[in-house]
């Protein structure tokens, strides 16, 4: 009986939202979508991942209700920051980075969250930056693969870019240039059939131009906010995942 009441409440919430969100969505891919960008930067000693999730109006409505932990109808800066920390930590178990056949642990190093206004309703932009230090310096012909499984069941744009930082990448058509400028400007000619780059594999070799310092304009280093990064433990042999705070 309780389950039926919850389903009814959920259905009523969706119906109410349909009245609030205009039929013509401000989001170019539709107001139900969740969209993804992963920018990988491969150095000889680590891999950096700039991961951005762009929530359209309707999923933003749902997520903002979840992050309003005091149920006062407003999302405070503290509530938004706590949500970002939790979500980015959770996402790390769905970002599968393998170097030389070994899955890498991702350390969350930077966070960013914002609510750009859509057509009368906010959207949400969540930025999670991870660092994967390598156990040994990159060797010649090192195979690397990456898969983004976050919100795998949802429709939306999925994009991956690759850049070598003192390394040379081969075996892939992906480049360092983002077609959507990190989910800020979606190209009109790709909206009908949006990008579906959820995974990639390639080969990295040491040697190549060094890149400028790694700067993410819409994220803040965790250390500067006093929040300690959460470092996911290596995946167990049975394929499950775990995360533990640093000592």
- CA dist 140 and 134 (Å) reads 14
pLDDT of 171 higher than 90: yes
Q: What are phi and psi of 15, to 5 degrees?
A: -65, -40
Q: Which residue, 41, 52, 115, 117, is CA-closest to 88?
A: 52
**Looking at the domain assignment, is residue 8 inside a domain?**
no
**Looking at the domain assignment, is residue 2 inside a domain?**
no
**Domain carrying residue 178:** 27-244
Determine the average pLDDT of the residues in 143-147: 98
Sign of the Cα pseudo-torsion (234, 108, 114, 67, in order)? positive
Residues 199-239 have pLDDT tens digits of 999 999 999 999 999 999 999 998 654 444 333 333 333 33
pTM reported for the whole predicted model: 0.80
Q: What is the pLDDT of residue 242?
A: 34
Sign of the Cα pseudo-torsion (114, 118, 122, 123, in order)? negative
- CA dist 59 and 64 (Å) reads 9
**Looking at the domain assignment, is residue 232 inside a domain?**
yes
3-state secondary structure at position 157: coil
Determine the average pLDDT of the residues in 119-147: 96
Taking only Cα atoms into account, the Rg of the chain, rounded to an integer number of angstroms, comes to 19
Percent with pLDDT over 90 in the chain? 72
Q: Per the structure, how many domains does the chain have? A: 1
**Looking at the domain assignment, is residue 17 inside a domain?**
no
**Looking at the domain assignment, is residue 63 inside a domain?**
yes
Q: Please, are residues 224 and 186 in contact by the beta-carbon 8 Å criterion?
A: no
Q: What is the pLDDT of residue 15?
A: 35
Q: Which residues share a beta bridge with 112?
A: 127
Determine the average pLDDT of the residues in 118-142: 95
**Looking at the domain assignment, is residue 9 inside a domain?**
no
- CA dist 34 and 30 (Å) reads 9
CA atoms within 13 A on the CB side of 25: 16
Q: What is the pLDDT of residue 26?
A: 64
Q: What is the DSSP letter of 237?
A: T
Q: Please, are residues 180 and 37 in contact by the beta-carbon 8 Å criterion?
A: yes
pLDDT of 116 higher than 50: yes
Residues 6-54 have pLDDT tens digits of 333 333 333 333 333 333 446 889 999 999 999 999 999 999 999 999 9
**Looking at the domain assignment, is residue 61 inside a domain?**
yes
**Looking at the domain assignment, is residue 4 inside a domain?**
no
């Amino acid at each position: 009986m309780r389950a039926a009441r919850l389903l009814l409440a959920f259905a009523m919430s969706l119906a109410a939202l349909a009245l609030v969100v205009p039929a013509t969505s401000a989001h170019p891919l539709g107001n139900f979508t969740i969209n993804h960008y992963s920018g990988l930067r491969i150095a000889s000693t680590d891999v950096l991942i700039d991961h951005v999730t762009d929530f359209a109006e309707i999923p933003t409505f749902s997520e903002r209700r979840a992050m309003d932990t005091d149920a006062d109808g407003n999302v405070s800066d503290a509530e938004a920051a706590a949500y970002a920390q939790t979500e980015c930590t959770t996402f790390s178990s769905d970002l599968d980075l393998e170097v030389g056949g070994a899955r890498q642990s991702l350390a969350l190093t930077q966070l960013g969250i914002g609510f750009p206004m859509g057509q009368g309703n906010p959207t949400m932009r969540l930025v999670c930056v991870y660092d994967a230090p390598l156990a040994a310096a990159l060797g010649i012909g090192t195979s690397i693969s990456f898969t983004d499984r976050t919100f795998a069941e949802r429709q939306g744009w999925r994009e991956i870019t690759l850049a070598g930082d003192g390394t040379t990448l081969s075996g892939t058509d992906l480049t360092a240039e983002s077609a959507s400028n990190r989910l800020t400007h979606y190209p009109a000619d790709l909206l009908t059939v949006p990008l579906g780059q959820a995974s990639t594999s390639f080969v990295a070799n040491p040697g190549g131009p060094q890149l400028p310092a790694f700067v993410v304009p819409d994220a803040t280093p965790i250390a500067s906010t006093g929040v300690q990064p959460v470092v996911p433990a290596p995946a167990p042999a049975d394929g499950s995942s775990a995360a533990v705070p640093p000592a």
